[in-house]
Amino acid sequence: MSTSTSADILSHVDAGVMTLTLNRVDKKNSITAAMYDALADALEAANHDAAVRVVVIQGHESIFSAGNDIGDFLNKPPSTPDSPVFRFLRGISSFPKPLVAAVCGPAVGIGTTMLLHCDLVYAGDNAAFSMPFVNLGLCPEAASSFLVPQLMGYPRAAEALLLGEPFMAETALEIGLINRIVPPTEVNALAQRQAQKLAAKPLSALMETKRLMKKGHAGIVAERMAEEGASFGRMLQEPAAREAFTAFMEKRRPDFSQV
Ligand code: COA
């Protein structure tokens, strides 16, 4: 069954696997409020639909996602916990069925942090991960301030989150953010094969195993995400972020000398 939840998010269900495709390639798959809502709605539907046993999230061979749509952040910054971006983050972080991601090209900001909540992540050798929140006058989201130091250790997390330095697929594999690297043309097919394997297993056993594996962190993740969200929403309105976003829109370097 093929449905389009929004023009920029394609949804397709086949043999127990729901595939969600970020489909805004001309804007580098940057994610608008409407796209977050579509993703959150799709995850909610997948959660309640017995015909969906696994969800795959994928982008394009050249780009996974450039993160949040910067124009949206300037014009309608998320200000409450019900804002689409936070709805999506709560949905993905608490999604009880298996989640598989296929990542090629840049995965910026939430393009990387959403992967912390996926169970299996397959990447193209062109994948580049970055969390440049500080460079944008912001703080981490998606509980990445907790999960990234845990995953990489503090020194590497500091490079990734304080310097905002990108890292490539090899590093992502080494630190355990991703499961395997293949040529970009093969990533989506590999993710589908792995999803089909999961879909053939008993869902109740998959869900209970996932719940138990995540149990130690579930409370901390939810609490940290709420705290990050409050700071993130406030910082979006402050001069550093406004300068960073205006500079991006004006295609110039930001000037942080006054902030
Ligand atoms: N929000 C809105 N528009 C974006 C965007 C974003 N996050 N990222 C890219 N775009 C748009 C560009 O404005 C450009 O639009 P235009 O063709 O109308 O000028 C188009 O997508 C292509 O982007 P461009 O920067 O020219 O592509 P690139 O291949 O040179 O670089 C990236 C790709 C992802 C490295 C670069 O676009 C980038 O750094 N984007 C911003 C990432 C970011 O800071 N995200 C965090 C948001 S919290």
Average pLDDT over residues 87-96: 98
- pLDDT tens-digit series, residues 13-28: 999 999 999 999 999 9
Rounded Cα distance, 117 and 231, in Å? 21
Pick the residue whose CA is nearest to atom 12 on ligand 1.
Answer: 27
**According to the model, what pLDDT value does residue 53 have?**
98
> pLDDT value at position 233?
93
Q: What is the pLDDT of residues 162-217, one digit of tens each?
A: 999 999 999 999 999 999 999 999 999 999 999 999 999 999 999 999 999 999 99
Instruction: Tell me the backbone φ, ψ of residue 23, rounded to 5 degrees.
Output: -130, 50
The reply to whether 250 falls in a domain is: no
CA of 35 to the centre of ligand 1 (A): 16
Summarize the confidence of residues 223-236 as an average pLDDT: 96
For residue 1, is pLDDT > 70? no
Res. 6 pLDDT band, cuts 50 70 90: confident
* Cα of 253 from ligand 1 centre, angstroms: 14
Task: Quick: pLDDT tens for 99-148.
Answer: 999 999 999 999 999 999 999 999 999 999 999 999 999 999 999 999 99
Q: Which residues contact 85 (CB under 8 A, 6 or more apart)?
A: 31, 33, 36, 68, 78, 110, 141
d(C-alpha 57, C-alpha 39), whole Å:
10
Question: What's the total number of domains in the chain?
Answer: 1
For residue 217, the SS3 value is helix
Q: Do the domain assignments include residue 248? A: no
Residue 148: domain span: 2-183
Q: What is the pLDDT of residue 226?
A: 96
Q: Does residue 52 form part of some domain? A: yes
Contacts of 101 (CB under 8 A, 6+ apart): 56, 57, 58, 114, 115, 118, 120, 121, 122, 191
- Higher local confidence (pLDDT), 3 or 86: 86
- Is 244 a member of any domain? no
Q: Which residue has the CA at smallest separation from atom 46 of ligand 1?
A: 67
pLDDT higher than 60, residue 227: yes
CATH assignment at residue 13 = 3.90.226.10
Cβ neighbors of 44 (< 8 A, separation 6 or more) are: 91
- The reply to whether 235 falls in a domain is no
pLDDT in tens, 51-88: 999 999 999 999 999 999 999 988 889 988 899 999 99
Tokens matching residue 54: 């696994």
Counting ligand 1 atoms within 8 A of each CB, the residue from 8, 23, 30 with the most, and so the one to mutate, is 30
Within 13 Å of residue 125, how many CA atoms lie on the same side as its CB?
4
User: Would you say residue 194 lies in a domain?
Assistant: no
Give the model's pLDDT for residue 5.
Answer: 58
Tell me how far apart the alpha carbons of residues 117 and 121 are, in angstroms, rounded to a whole number: 10
Q: Does 217 map to a domain?
A: no
Predicted local distance difference test score (pLDDT) of residue 76:
86
Q: Is residue 210 part of a domain?
A: no
Measured in degrees and rounded to the nearest 5, phi and psi for residue 20 equal -110, 125
Pocket lined around ligand 1, Cβ cut-off 6 Å = 27-28, 30, 66-71, 106, 108-109, 132, 136
